[in-house]
Amino acid sequence: MPLLEIKELTKNFGGLAAVSNVNIALEENQLVGLIGPNGAGKTTLFNLITGVYEPSEGDVLLKVDGKSHRLNGQKPYAIADLGLSRTFQNIRLFKDLTVLDNVLIAMNSKNKESFFSSVLRLPAFYNKEEHLKAEALKLLTIFDLQEKAEHLARNLPYGEQRRLEIVRALATKPKILFLDEPAAGMNPQETAELTLLIRKIQAEFKITILLIEHDMSLVMDVCERIYVLEYGRILAEGVPEEIKNNPEVIKAYLGGDL
């Protein structure tokens, strides 16, 4: 049984099938790319998996303790609690909070303190706070943001804001990380750094990553498998070499960069 199985998934918006009969399987510790022209349905698919939208048809199944667990119909916070975490196409940080606080907020959602120890400020509360802060700093250090811990998120350069978004998504200790166009708006230097970063995440955290990205060289470089969406349907699936040489994919991207 795969870690995440998307079965015959369909989402209709009025007469438009934004996602149509999609089947995808993600294995543990796999790095998978999801590509396709503008409007192909990539973000809609992420929204279906993470509970933002309910599917019109089909299932999203997560392996939990060896058993298949249906995610469709569940609220986004319940799905996040089961270990799915994501970043967004447009950066969604708390820009007026510090870098450290952005990470701590994400961690806190996973470390709910008991009501009494929080309200009464019992020693357990302070110990937990100190522990979480140390964990957050450790995470920031892995991503080379420790020096910026006390800076406001809004004052970070663009590439570092994107990196912080990824750190924040990882702070919830996900089993699967969904990255929605992490290289969007990045310069070539920042994209090259991101490529290394994605590799590092997979090596250090041993999680599954599903990556939506328009930057083909990034996708071909880091992904083990790639799914291609077109008009809401899976057009092709395979290893980067197969996708690169697939005539239908080349046709879909005609004029684009493959």
Ligand X SMILES: Nc1ncnc2c1ncn2[C@@H]1O[C@H](COP(=O)(O)OP(=O)(O)OP(=O)(O)O)[C@@H](O)[C@H]1O
Query: Which residue, 123 or 255, is less far from ligand X as judged by CB?
Result: 255
Q: With binding defined as CB under 6 A, does residue 42 bind ligand X?
A: yes
> Stretches 13-21, 79-87, 102-110, 152-160: which one binds ligand X (CB under 6 A)?
13-21
Q: Which of 191, 248, 247 is nearest to 221 (CA)?
A: 191
> Stretches 38-46, 69-77, 134-142, 161-169: which one binds ligand X (CB under 6 A)?
38-46
Contact status, residue 146 vs residue 167, Cβ threshold 8 Å: no
Rounded to whole angstroms, the Cα distance separating 117 from 137 reads 24
Among 20, 30, 44, 74, binds ligand X (CB under 6 A): 44
> Stretches 41-49, 117-125, 165-173, 190-198: which one binds ligand X (CB under 6 A)?
41-49
* 227 bridge partner residues: 34, 237
Q: With binding defined as CB under 6 A, does residue 39 bind ligand X?
A: yes
Q: Which of 2, 3, 10 is nearest to 231 (CA)?
A: 10
Contacts of 238 (CB under 8 A, 6+ apart): 225, 226, 246
Q: With binding defined as CB under 6 A, does residue 18 bind ligand X?
A: yes
Handedness of CA 242, 244, 247, 252 (dihedral sign): positive
> Stretches 32-40, 118-126, 198-206, 216-224: which one binds ligand X (CB under 6 A)?
32-40
Query: Which residue, 18 or 139, is less far from ligand X as judged by CB?
Result: 18
Determine how β-strand 208-212 pairs with β-strand 176-180.
Answer: parallel
Angle between helices 188-205 and 158-170 (to 10 degrees): 10
- With CB under 6 A, what is the number of residues at the site for ligand X? 11
Q: With binding defined as CB under 6 A, does residue 36 bind ligand X?
A: yes
Query: Which residue, 81 or 248, is less far from ligand X as judged by CB?
Result: 248
Count the Cβ atoms, other than its own, within 10 Å of residue 104. 20
List the 67-70 sheet strands across, edge first. Answer: 16-26, 4-13, 57-64, 67-70
Query: Which residue, 35 or 106, is less far from ligand X as judged by CB?
Result: 35
Among 15, 38, 123, 189, binds ligand X (CB under 6 A): 38
Residue 184 Cβ vs ligand X, minimum distance, rounded to whole Å: 9
Burial class (CB in 10 A: 0-12, 13-18, 19+), 207: buried
Among 20, 30, 43, 208, binds ligand X (CB under 6 A): 43
Residue 161 Cβ vs ligand X, minimum distance, rounded to whole Å: 19
Q: How many CA atoms lie within 13 A of 232 on its CB side?
A: 15
Query: Which residue, 43 or 191, is less far from ligand X as judged by CB?
Result: 43
Residue 46 Cβ vs ligand X, minimum distance, rounded to whole Å: 8
Query: Which residue, 31 or 252, is less far from ligand X as judged by CB?
Result: 252
Residue 42 Cβ vs ligand X, minimum distance, rounded to whole Å: 4
224 SS3 class: coil
| Residue ranges in contact with ligand X by CB under 6 A | 13, 16, 18, 36, 38-44
